[in-house]
């Protein structure tokens, strides 16, 4: 039976509904953080620690409440530079992403072993807390990294 003009919109709607059920990663999208030209220093107020950290090892959670995106993780690394906080350059650090945050269609933080990042953390002791969503984190290989570090250095003087 040929598809009539009235049936066509219904078929499109059914196709989209099936796609969202069968392939949720296609139907649902998250938004990456937009990096402004200068570091938004007002964000520093929400964090006790701001470090440049080389990530040495990532450990992912065994199960995730949302497997479409990067799972909660913890990492071990070394502090390369201190912007704010009690650590000193060369200190080992361990942190874990928090899991009690609302995503609000934001992409979760994703780090790679062997890379160095500017990270904002809270907590103390054995494991620091790294926000899983919406945090302004940036790797050294991004063009914003140098500008942000210069902005933060100026503010700390």
- What does the alpha-carbon distance between residue 138 and residue 135 come to, in Å, rounded to a whole number? 9
pLDDT band at 116 (very low <50, low <70, confident <90, very high): very high
Residue 54 pLDDT > 70: yes
What pLDDT score does 28 carry?
52
Answer CATH for 41-155 from 3.40.50.150, 1.10.580.10, 2.40.50.120, 3.40.50.40: 2.40.50.120
pLDDT in tens, 5-49: 555 555 554 554 444 444 444 445 777 778 889 998 888 888 999
151, 83 Cβ separation under 8 angstroms: no
- What does the alpha-carbon distance between residue 17 and residue 20 come to, in Å, rounded to a whole number? 5
- What does the alpha-carbon distance between residue 11 and residue 3 come to, in Å, rounded to a whole number? 9
93, 78 Cβ separation under 8 angstroms: yes
* Residue 19, C-beta contacts closer than 8 angstroms, at least 6 positions apart: 26, 27
| Least confident among 8-17, 29-38, 61-70, 74-83 | 8-17
Average pLDDT over residues 105-113: 86
> Domain-by-domain residue ranges, the chain?
1-30, 41-155
138, 35 Cβ separation under 8 angstroms: yes
Question: In the Cβ-directed half-sphere of 50, how many Cα atoms lie within 13 Å?
Answer: 21
């Amino acid at each position: 039976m040929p598809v009539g003009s009235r049936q066509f919109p219904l078929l499109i709607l059914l196709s989209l509904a099936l796609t969202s059920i069968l392939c949720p990663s296609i139907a649902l999208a998250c938004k990456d953080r937009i990096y402004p030209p200068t570091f938004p220093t007002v964000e520093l107020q929400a964090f006790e620690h701001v470090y440049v950290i080389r990530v040495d090892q990532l450990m992912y959670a065994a199960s995730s409440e949302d497997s479409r995106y990067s799972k909660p993780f913890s990492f071990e690394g070394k502090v390369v530079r201190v912007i704010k906080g009690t650590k000193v350059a060369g200190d080992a650090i361990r942190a874990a992403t928090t899991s009690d945050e609302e995503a609000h269609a934001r992409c979760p933080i994703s780090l790679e072993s062997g890379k160095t990042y500017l990270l904002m953390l809270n907590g103390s002791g054995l494991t620091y807390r790294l926000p899983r969503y919406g945090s302004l984190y940036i790797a050294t290989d991004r063009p914003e990294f140098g500008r942000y570090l210069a902005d933060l250095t100026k503010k700390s003087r």
